[in-house]
Structure 1
């Protein structure tokens, strides 16, 4: 039985019959066998049908990582529809735009999340409460399953759009089934557990769920803060995870800190940006049994298009992105669509049955990127520059356009620039990536004020935060009288990327404030910030984001606080207390909690060793 003949829903149904008691999904507290998962999904599919969901419909899914999320997505498929994953952290206007673009008339989600997103009550449905309520008698049988056609839409995943409008990529059932069923590029058996931790709007999450369920393995649902490396390692061990997908930026971070997660896992797939040979070698030499796979692929080609199993010899230079997998074809072309010789750089055009159908509601853009090649058939122009070795192995060399990858997120600067130009105080804007350190990429916005008066970085940040997800909000800001141009009249992004920019252009405390004496605890926090941000911090009112901080740098501080002071602070708490003073107060409360006990007065906690030399 092939994946394309049955699709992933059919594979799940088969495992529910042949290995009904095998574990299918668990978060450590709630667990479902394959029989229970099938019963739960079929039951909820019936609820969806009762709410009017029909084959071909789109259904929004606004849920955190959980067992019900997996049940819901499978139920949507068995109802004949396709799902649209939504991130609860995205601004409400963006969620509304995604639902409108996808044509989703119903959204499954928790009450609070739905209300925050502003979705009308008559277009919402609560999720199944773990699945147990559908595990009894009277559950619809297989005859009620809607078996999708290979070229039917499985899900719509949104990516950044250069015109200011996010692009909804329509991925097919055969695209995901061919990717995940019996993969040749990574070891995956029924004994494995695949860690489900990636953001649901990131296409790695589709691999995490369906690669497990298409092979009789289990989905290990991580409920930890998704940006917490320590929480990720604890969940991997707690859940018995054996396989995980990591963004390149997160892999680099974990490798640099010698995370214990690599001692738990057997297989790791890395993707999103160029892989550091140094970090790959560090991990492989410390964990020689680890199957480390460098994966490359745009959402338009269903997550991974090429892969390469990394060995020590690959780390003498930039590791390759490998050979095409799972029916994908790869063609290195010049600008006219003519193949170039081995060793010559060209644009990578991808083909094969796993290509997406295109961009929902954007036929012109679909026609521009998905082309009919006279010899190779339907191909997707990636915009990525590669070269092929004599054996066909591909090396990555960058982009042909302005698109960038930052911390694993695909970003079209044009989308940010479009949103900035909607501010009345902005005449023009350009967004580029600067790399103050090899493992640190920051978005920098250069803004031309309208009327000569700058609106202020704080106002512009607030303007974007109401329209764009956090990863599209610049980390640093600069104001200029005009944007530099190249000889052909285009914005000179290379020149802007080389311009020095300090912090974000935001004053640390809202007004210019002279640095004052710091308390011992504030000094500890300031020192950790200085180390992470690679700049001196000596003001209690300094703001982490205003100094150019972002989530991965925040992780460094959070982990250092845990290691140096023994305190656990979540990223949510970190960003809720963004100044040195506020964070020191947060740490103090955590220390008080740790050291409370018989004979320890609340106002005299035992001093951590890290503070002794500050007194």
Structure 2
């Protein structure tokens, strides 16, 4: 981020080249403040300028989040001192007085930073009872300068009560905290989600609750089917604190199963049926599942797990009468990628889910959406915005299965026949669906919620241009804080990024430095989340829970998101990156360590490093570098990992390069990548094959692909398949997504196109293609 040379100290704020020129803020000290400064200076036998220099040095300590920021007086003298918590303030004032006296100047002049060439970046001057802050707007936003000056004045007021540096830092933390927007608690929720749904059932309205393709259930039908699942679970001894695994295709069935688990007093964990068998079995152990609810097609996978298994079509019907539960009970678990090489199970309580739905619908506004669409796997919580936004408010939920969301034409037809008021999706999925230029036909009637990864401003602009009256929201939140915590209504796409917003009711957000102290607005720091939306923690993983969920000195519980953010002039939080290696791939959280563990478990792989690298399309894809005695079998990797965790490319290297301090040298690693060598590649033979190959090469950013290589094995994924589909349909208007998935190589697809292949079966997308 740094474009400022401060002698080895990096500038903490991302520069904005378009924001040019310099500016100045000043404040005249009133009589009380001026008298306070004079008295303190007289007590230390130094001029007032020395006291102001110490105040400035302490404020810069907070700005840079480091204790060794050098000051430079106008005459060129540098005052460098390392601050410690126990450093006496009086000693600092005396040292500043000596440093000032050594300059031989009668007046302090502007105090700058580091080297002379950079003095204009940020300065503070004392001029006969007035403090003047000068700053270069390219490096210091106006709102940051205003907060820095406010910090100076607050510390001038409070310095007399500070004995050591730690006291002064506490004054600054309090001053920064008072400038933050007030936290809105909202009403305390003591209801379970099951109780809220039961209340919807009793309201008397019996409209459509959930629909999928040709199946639609009214609220009374949904309640009876969920009641039947609950009755089966009770017969098999399932009750409060138990966990039930649901392994169901995207349809009305996951909804039935979840509500049935709640009625029995249990929590559910949706597992994606497309995941490998070994991972599913490991997940059952991980979550401590007491029973499994599945489709008929998945039942054989559980014949040897030693658990009661319900094929959901065998469940009877019964009244929906949830057992009495507590709002602190776990409602559901979500498995997320883990740094230990195995996924972690996040326990989300009922109070957090109900509070989230209430807060989100409140933020959207008084006109409650009547219909909601969900386009993502039930195994993640991203879709819960729509699922429970509908079911806990009496709305209609439309479930779009995997085949539908991978086929832009089919999805457009579905939305045309059954429009929805609110739709949620990831930016990468939205970009793929609208790559052909037809944006309006995949949009909902009133509200589009985008989340799961960074939202490119150009994509937001495309949406607003297509439907100017659409309410477009960028929604942010980790699973550990229940679906979403911050939201931003997008009305402008100027600037380098779309903000992730401000906290929902009941959520507290704080941006802190490495010491856990609040940072100045505009300065990057890690986002902490608190409030009523926090998860209970990680199931049976006390160490991970203690690391991620921490308590501050006042007892407040916080989740350390690991996300690097900054607060802008409007009070919105902006996402800048990560403080660790975690990645977002097509909306899925990916811990590189989990992928590395799976790679090194393969035969011949001695070491592996996984990272994210940008694609020409502006997305991020997973890339692996391996030290291996034999080629890596990506097919075997797909048997261990979900599709989002399988690298798009695997590059062999002789060794993993390290920096001088023993960390992975990622720049050097990319330099170790061997050049592409054409070995045994069977080139396209016909005009159709050459056309298909040119599209593949463009989408996959590959120099060459053999005619018999499989799409998924050369870096393809769900969203890239949409891009291929869009480009080929310009030449073959009758092409279906089913044809694309049924014929995974260039040769097979070209033959199908030449022969006008018939549509495939209803389940078109092969295993390994997810959304």
Q: What interval of TM-score do these two structures reach, taking the shorter chain for normalisation?
A: 0.7 to 0.9
Map of 1:296 onto structure 2: 476
Q: Aligned equivalents of 1:264 and 1:358: distance in 2?
A: 35
Superposition deviation, residue 481 in structure 1: 1.2
Contact 1:249 1:439 (8 Å CA) reproduced:
no
The answer to whether the aligner puts 1:470 opposite 2:643 as a matched pair is yes
- Superposition deviation, residue 399 in structure 1: 0.4
**Larger-Rg structure:** 2
Q: 2:680 aligns with which of 485, 488, 512?
A: 512
Aligned to 1:456: 631
Q: Does 1:396 align with 2:575?
A: yes
Which residue of 692, 695, 709 maps to 1:525? Answer: 692
Q: CA deviation at 1:233?
A: 2.8
Call closer, same or farther: CA 1:236–1:381 in 2, change over 3 Å: same
In 2, Cα distance between equivalents of 1:141 and 1:397 = 46
Contact in 1 for aligned 2:345/2:538 (Cα 8 Å):
yes
Q: State the 1:120 CA deviation.
A: 3.5
1:354-433 counterparts in 2 under 5 A?
354-375=533-554, 377-433=556-612
Q: Aligned to 1:268, which of 444, 448, 457?
A: 448
**1:388 Cα shift?**
1.2
Residue aligning to 1:584: 750
Which residue is 1:235 aligned to?
Answer: 414
Which residue pairs with 2:465 in the alignment?
Answer: 285
Structure-1 separation of matches of 2:278 and 2:457 = 40
Distance 1:376 1:275 in 2: 34
- Please report how far the alpha carbon of residue 217 of structure 1 lies from its aligned counterpart in structure 2 after TM superposition: 0.6
Give the one of 42, 58, 68 matched to 2:243: 58
Deviation at residue 438 of structure 1 after TM alignment: 4.2
8 Å Cα contact 1:245-1:269 kept in structure 2: yes
Pairing 1:503-582 to 2, within 5 Å after superposition: 512-515=680-683, 518-537=685-704, 539-570=706-737, 574-575=740-741, 577-582=743-748
- 1:390–1:523 distance in 2 versus 1, CA, 3 Å: closer
Query: Which of 351, 354, 358 pairs up with 1:174?
Result: 351
Deviations 1:420-471 (A, max 9, x none): 111231111101111131433221110112xxx3x103x2x12311211111
Asked if the contact 1:159/1:166 (under 8 Å) is kept, the reply is yes
Q: Which residue of 2 aligns with 1:488?
A: 661
1:18 equivalent in structure 2: 203
Say which SS state the counterpart of residue 459 (structure 2) adopts.
helix
CA contact (8 A) 1:432 1:496 kept: no
> Compared with structure 1, are the counterparts of its residues 563 and 52 closer, same or farther at alpha carbon in structure 2 (3 Å cutoff)?
farther
Pairing partner for 1:308 from 477, 480, 488? 488
Shift of 1:328: 1.0
Do residues 221 (structure 1) and 388 (structure 2) align? no
Secondary structure of the residue that 2:589 maps to in structure 1? strand
Deviation at 1:546, TM superposition (A): 4.2
Match of 2:427 in 1: 248
| Cα distance change, pair 3–128 in 1 and its aligned pair in 2 (3 A) | farther
| Residue equivalent to 1:197 | 375
Give the 3-state SS of the residue equivalent to 1:120 in structure 2: coil
Q: Distance in 1 between matches of 2:445 and 2:729?
A: 23
Q: Residue 164 of structure 1: which of 319, 322, 341 is its match?
A: 341
CA distance in 2, matches of 1:224, 1:551: 10
Note the aligned Cα RMSD (angstroms): 2.5
- Looking at structure 1, the residues matched to 705 and 272 of structure 2 have their Cα atoms a distance apart, in angstroms, of 36
- State the Cα deviation string for residues 479-500 of structure 1 (Å, max 9, x = none): 1111111222011234435766
Equivalent position of 1:103 in the other structure:
288
Q: CA deviation at 1:592?
A: 5.3
> Is residue 596–residue 610 contact of structure 2 (8 Å, CA) maintained in 1?
yes
Q: CA deviation at 1:163?
A: 1.1
Q: Contact conserved, 2:333 with 2:346, CA < 8 A, in 1?
A: yes
The alignment status of 1:70 with 2:255, answered yes or no, reads: yes
Is 1:341 aligned with 2:520?
A: yes
CA 1:341–1:74 in structure 2 vs 1: closer, same or farther (change >3 Å)?
A: same
Task: Kindly provide the CA deviation profile for residues 76-132 of structure 1, in whole angstroms up to 9, marking residues without a partner as x.
Answer: 001000001010110111111111111102110013213246653753111146x8x
CA offsets, 1:17-66, max 9 Å, x none?
22332221122422222222222222321121112111111000001111
Q: Residue 625 of structure 2: SS of its match in structure 1?
A: strand
More off after superposition, 2-11 vs 403-412: 2-11
What SS class does the counterpart of residue 105 from structure 1 fall into?
Answer: strand
In the superposition, the TM-score normalised over structure 2's length comes to 0.70
3-state DSSP of counterpart to 2:711: coil
- Distance between the aligned counterparts of 2:329 and 2:192, measured in 1? 10
Tell me if the contact between 1:252 and 1:276 (Cα under 8 Å) persists in the aligned partners.
no
Check conservation: 1:255, 1:282, Cα contact below 8 A.
no
Q: Residue by residue, what CA displacement relative to the aligned partner does 1:512-553 show, whole Å, maximum 9, x if unpaired?
A: 13535x223222312322332234557433443344322211
2:87 aligned partner: none
Residue 95 of structure 2 corresponds to: none
Query: Using the alignment, how far apart are the partners of 1:378 and 1:364 within structure 2?
Result: 16
Distance of 1:52 and 1:267 partners within structure 2: 42
Normalization by structure 1: what TM-score?
0.87
Q: Contact between 2:440 and 2:466, CA under 8 Å: does it hold in 1?
A: no
In the alignment, the residues of structure 1 paired with residue 300 and residue 445 of structure 2 have an alpha-carbon distance, to the nearest angstrom, of 38
Q: Note closer, same or farther for the CA distance 1:66–1:11 as it changes in structure 2 (3 Å cut).
A: same
Task: Give 1:72 deviation, angstroms.
Answer: 1.2
Checking the alignment, whether the CA contact within 8 Å between 2:440 and 2:463 is kept in structure 1 is no
3-state SS of paired residue (1:379): strand
Q: Which runs of 5+ in 2 are unaligned?
A: 1-185, 760-771
Whether the 8 Å CA contact 1:96–1:119 is kept in 2: the answer is no
Q: Does 1:154 align with 2:154?
A: no
Q: CA-to-partner distance for each residue in 1:339-363, whole Å, 9 max, x for gaps?
A: 1111111110110111111111111
Tell me, what secondary structure is at the counterpart of 2:273? coil
